[in-house]
Chains A and B, each alone.
Chain A
Amino acid sequence: MSQLAQYIAEKRQQKPILSMTHVVYGYPSVKESLDWMATLLEAGADFIEVQFPFSDPVADGPTIVAACHGALHDQTLTVEQCLKDIGQLGRDFPQARIALMSYLNPMYRYGLEKLVKRCAEENILGLILPDLPYEQAGDLREYCAANGIDPVWLVTPVTPKDRLAFLASEASGFLYCVARSGVTGNSNHNGGEQQSLDEYLAEINEHSNAPIGVGFGIREKAHVDALKGKADVAIIGSALLDAYNKGGKEEGLKLFNSLFNA
């Protein structure tokens, strides 16, 4: 069994839903971003999804795009330093796990094989690359299998049924279920959507052997509660960044606690 899936299964014995909090590495500075990650882990976050910034993050909405551009504006970020930094973070908080998210190009330039090896060394068990579809990821899948790392596939409400079944069956660490169309950051929850989200998650559960994470549009406790019993991990990204931008760690923490510790 995948180390990541096992971790989720064990933690789920104690909690109805786990938390994955997204943080942009290097925003507003490397030190502040690492400090913010540590704060979230102290508050009980089960995962940190660390986004290594890319100049052209096409799957992200305005909040995360601005943070990525901000992080790249007046400093040079290297994948190697990021891996070292978040590896250390993982060692400081052994009860939690770190997943690395980025776009393909910076990872491709660093070298995909080296990336996966280094992730294994730093105990970064999950790798999320939203612009690398399963079909194009032959090499990466091979490296991941050899190193015990889970490539995290995404499915969406418009993924065709047979493809959804296939991707769900291929998932190992966890399957990343995008809750709605569009880029990160918008929220358009309503009653009708909740029902279709339930049906979508039921469909995924039918095919998936791996735990299920749900992201995109989670902003309130009700959104998290609605996932209990249907998913394993609630992923919170733009809403957390919005709160952080508004009132720093304090405001961000308030949101995190209201979603997961209330």
Chain B
Amino acid sequence: MQSNNGYYGEFGGSYIPEILYSSQQQILHAFEEAKNDPAFIAELKDTWQNYSGRPTPLTFCKNLTDHFGGAQIYLKREDLNQSGAHKMNNVIGQALLVKRMGKKRVIAETGAGQHGVATALIAARLGLECTIYMGAKDVKRQYPNVFWMKQLGATVVPVAEGAQTLRDALDEALRDWSSSHEDSHYLIGTTCGCAPFPEMVAFFQSVIGEEVKEQSMAQFGQYPDRLYACVGGGSNACGLFLPFLEEKQVEMVGVEAGGKGLELGQHSIRLSNGLGQKGIAQGFATMFLQDENGQLQETHSIAAGLDYVGVSPIIAHLAQEGRIQMTYAMDDEVVEACSLLLKKEGIIPALESSHALAGAFKDAPNLPKESRIVINLSGRGDKDIFNVAKAMNDATFPEFLEDYMADYNSDNEGEA
């Protein structure tokens, strides 16, 4: 979606410290050139295909469809990307741009760690130095991803400021960029931040929706009736939705994290129920969760990747225009939806993506049998094994951990 000088309606823009002006302009021009350069696009497509495994399948879910007895349910399988999430689409695009700009280092923020791992993967492949900022709280709840980032050669910096989550990681990444902009690129993971990041990330993610267009025509001869995506920063939603914007008959539903309840601090709902208010922070204008004095507030979600205080200016605008309907799913509904997909279809979804499932499952029984819905399965759930085991009250998991620890310690003692 083309912005109006960096704006989408009243959202977006570029509100950055003066020190970043030149670097931001450089990215703006480099992206403008690159997206119109057939050689760049060819390299991008080649890397998507041969490194990340695109195109990802569009999977019909017969069992789920029968289970609900309503709409025919399809999943867009972004979980099958290299790295296990849609995040790869964007990092490949931006990393190729980094090479083009001649920079040697990338900085990234990460919440769940998916974007951090994706960035570390592509940095290893393209020989870029890589520093990942991650809230200290997220480091704890997503340690397996931290482990892999480190193994991939990235430096992981736990951010102990503020609430120690994605928002603080983003602040810290911006601070790093302020002092390292001459040789470093801020490889933002979602459709947020100053222009041109929202537009650029949406551009790289739009491969999702473009593929769904082709696949839906091939599989059932028309576009889907409804699309569902979870909305944290908004990149997987932008990726699925934007190619369908002009197809007015295609309805779009964004699902935010309802967390534990609707009190401030318990959820990450920015666009429903009047819970978010317009603000300008972290480089752009959007709907933020904030208090009446303009201080950004803490958020919660069982899915670290949705636990963010702001939201894409593109999604904020399309929601305001009514083009996208916004809804939310609570933590317990999300775990239920995750469990249902496991049992019915043999697919392990990320808890982030399980929000989209939960939103769609609520509607599916009430939709006509001939209608078709596509849910963006933005990531796979392997990374969530600890959190899902806890949420499902799995009795044997703690035993496994204890045994594992005993074994781990005795092996290490043996070596020492």
A contact residues vs B (CB 8 Å cutoff) = 54-61, 65-66, 69, 72, 76-79, 103-110, 130-133, 135-136, 153-156, 158-160, 163, 178, 181-183, 186
Contact A133–B22 (Cβ < 8 Å): no
**Given contacts A108-B294, A109-B290, is CB(A181)–CB(B161) below 8 Å?**
no
A186 to B291, CA, bound (A): 31
Nearest A-chain residue to B279, judged by Cβ: A105
Q: Are B15 and A131 in contact (CB under 8 A)?
A: yes
Q: Mark B176-204, 1 if CB is under 8 A from A, else 0.
A: 00110110000000000000000000000
B280-288, B364-372, B399-407: which lies at the interface: B280-288
Which B residues lie at the A interface, using CB under 8 A? 13-19, 21-22, 161-162, 167, 171, 174-175, 178-179, 181-182, 277, 279-283, 288, 290-297
Identify the interface centre among B162, B178, B297: most chain A CB within 10 Å of its CB: B178
Which of B161, B277, B279, B283 is the most central at the interface, judged by chain A CB atoms within 10 Å of its CB? Answer: B161
Tell whether, in the assembled complex, residue A158 and residue B22 are in contact, meaning their CB atoms are under 8 Å apart: yes
Distance in angstroms between the alpha carbons of A78 and B294 in the assembled complex: 9
Evaluate contact between B175 and A54: CB separation under 8 angstroms. no
Q: Which of chain B's residues have a CB closer than 8 A to the CB of A56?
A: 162, 167, 171, 281-282, 296
B294 neighbours in A (Cβ, 8 Å): 54, 105-110
B175 x A159 contact (CB < 8 A) = no
In the complex, are the beta carbons of B179 and A183 less than 8 A apart? yes
B180 to chain A, nearest CB (A): 8
Which residues of chain A are within 8 angstroms of B13 by Cβ–Cβ distance?
Answer: 136
Is B19 a contact of A178 with CB atoms below 8 Å?
yes
- B70 → A minimal CB distance (Å): 43
- Looking at the assembled complex, report how far the CB atom of B297 sits from the nearest CB atom of chain A, in whole angstroms: 8
A-side binding surface: helix, strand, loop or mixed? Answer: loop
Contact residues in A for B296 (Cβ distance below 8 Å): 55-56, 105
- In the complex, the answer to whether A105 meets B290 with C-beta atoms within 8 Å is yes
Q: Which residues of B contact A72 (CB under 8 A)?
A: 295
- Assembled-state Cα–Cα distance A66/B277 (Å): 26
A61-B175, A69-B162, A186-B179 known; A136-B22 Cβ under 8 A? no
Min CB gap A111→B, angstroms: 10
Complex CA distance for A132 and B14, rounded to whole angstroms: 9
- CB distance A54 to B295 under 8 Å? yes
Given contact pairs A69-B161, A181-B181, A58 touches B17 in the complex (Cβ within 8 A) = yes
Query: Is A182's CB under 8 angstroms from B19's CB?
Result: yes
A248 to chain B, nearest CB (A): 24
B17 close to A59 (CB less than 8 A): yes
Closest residue of B by beta carbon distance from A131:
B15
| CB-based closest 3 A-B pairs | A182-B179, A109-B294, A106-B294
Check A158 against B19 for contact (C-beta < 8 Å).
yes
Q: Contacting B16 at CB < 8 Å: which of A76, A131, A155? A: A131
| CB closest residue in chain B, given A176 | B18
Given A69-B161, A109-B294, A131-B283, A154 and B17 contact (CB-CB distance below 8 Å): yes
- Closest chain-A Cβ to B186's Cβ sits at a distance in Å of 12
Distance, CA A181 to CA B13, complexed state (A): 23
Given A104-B280, A108-B279, do A159 and B18 touch, yes or no (CB 8 Å)? yes
Across the interface, name the chain B residue whose C-beta is closest to A129: B15
